[in-house]
Amino acid sequence: MASQTTQNFRLTVLNPGGRDREQQFHAVPAPGEGPHPPINFHAFAACTSGAFHRDVGRAVAENTPVLLLLRGDFRASERALTVLKRERRFVAVSLKETGLHQIAQQLRDPGKLSRFMKIVAQADACIATTPEAAEIYQRVRYKHDPAAVTFIPTPYPIKDQRWDFSVPATAQSGIFIGTREWDVPSRNHFAAFLVARQLSEATGEPLSVVNLDRSKGRRLLGELNFPEGKLRLIERWKSYPDYLREVAQHKIVLQLDRSHVPGQVAGDALLCRIPCVGGNGAIERIAFSKTCGECRTIDEITSMAVDLLKNRESRDALAVESQERAREWLSFETARSQLAKFFDEIQGTTR
């Protein structure tokens, strides 16, 4: 049974100066409800029946602990931390973009690096959505209680049947490419297409991909000479539920991302109840440890993908196993318990 502390725990997520609208999560919204789905950092508010704000005054008024996101040049985050500490709010911080390539890009500017070091040292705690980010926070805080850092993977509403986007196996066909960024080297987007082309030729399965680069993307893909009729481009914007409905129609999600991101590609696959192959995000490593890309070659990933495409029993077994691991480690209920325990322990040491 959950403790009273867990039952009553609420968290306010503050993205100072961000574009997302204020959102109160009195209950987990159904797909399509509310201005933003309960994913990414919104999920930390949603799983605790908390709130998501961009205005520091509104965050203060919630009278709850705050998870402060570090974004942009960190100036707004630094000002928000000053206000929150003055109002005696307990503040944990996290970079909003936490892939290793994103962290490196943000911190190559001396001014931003200086503000980052100061903010992380002055905050009461740090929450990381990847193990790699947690290690960075710990090293920054080595003189300021490095134990006040925790890794909590981004949670998903796995146990909520409204967020089950699965379709019958007889309605599934093909491969969905989970990445979409040609210009980020660690995404390995081009290599994923080469593997997908090989898989399509070997199994006859079609391929789908979101192409946000439009004409540029079409020209690049045209150079790869996919078999006629085997490549489908999704170029119209879709709401998150409609996007998941697209993903769920496929047999597998394929990626070769080596960015050590939180893992939304795998999170989407979990909501669709289909296997995710490749990728080394945090969720990939937790829920799809047998098929993720961590410490595996492209040939090994390709071989696993072929087996899953040809063998429905293998796909079903992996989908069941990933759901079991997700329920244990990635559910809203688990995240709420982890957050409540972490904040209670850290606040206890600072009283």
Q: Do domains 4-155+331-350 and 161-329 have the same CATH topology?
A: yes
The predicted-structure confidence for 54-109, as pLDDT tens digits, reads as follows 999 999 999 999 999 999 999 999 999 999 999 999 999 999 999 999 999 999 99
| Residue 351 predicted with pLDDT over 80 | no
Report residue 155 as tokens.
């949670």
Fold type of domain 4-155+331-350: Rossmann fold (3.40.50)
pLDDT value, residue 349? 59
**Is the C-alpha dihedral spanning 213, 214, 220, 224 positive or negative?**
positive
Average pLDDT over residues 147-156: 96
Return the pLDDT at 1. 33
Residue 152 has pLDDT above 90, yes or no: yes
| Domain extents in the chain | 4-155+331-350, 161-329
Quickly state the pLDDT bin for 146 (edges 50, 70, 90): confident
CATH of domain 161-329: 3.40.50.2000
Rounded mean pLDDT of the chain? Answer: 95
Which residue from 228, 218, 205, 187 is spatially nearest to 306, judged by alpha carbons?
205
Q: What is the pLDDT of residues 209-224, one digit of tens each?
A: 999 888 999 999 999 9
Residue 3 has pLDDT above 60, yes or no: no
Question: Are 318 and 288 in contact, with CB atoms under 8 Å apart?
Answer: yes
What is the average per-residue pLDDT within 113-124? 96
Higher pLDDT, 147 or 35: 35
Percent of the chain whose pLDDT exceeds 90: 92
Q: Which of 48-52, 73-77, 227-231, 287-291 has the lowest mean pLDDT?
A: 227-231
| Distance between CA atoms of residues 329 and 181, nearest Å | 28
- Mean pLDDT throughout 240-266? 98
Confidence of residue 347 (pLDDT cuts 50, 70, 90): confident
Under 8 Å between Cβ of 255 and 176: no
d(CA 189, CA 196): 11
Say whether pLDDT at 6 is over 90. Answer: no
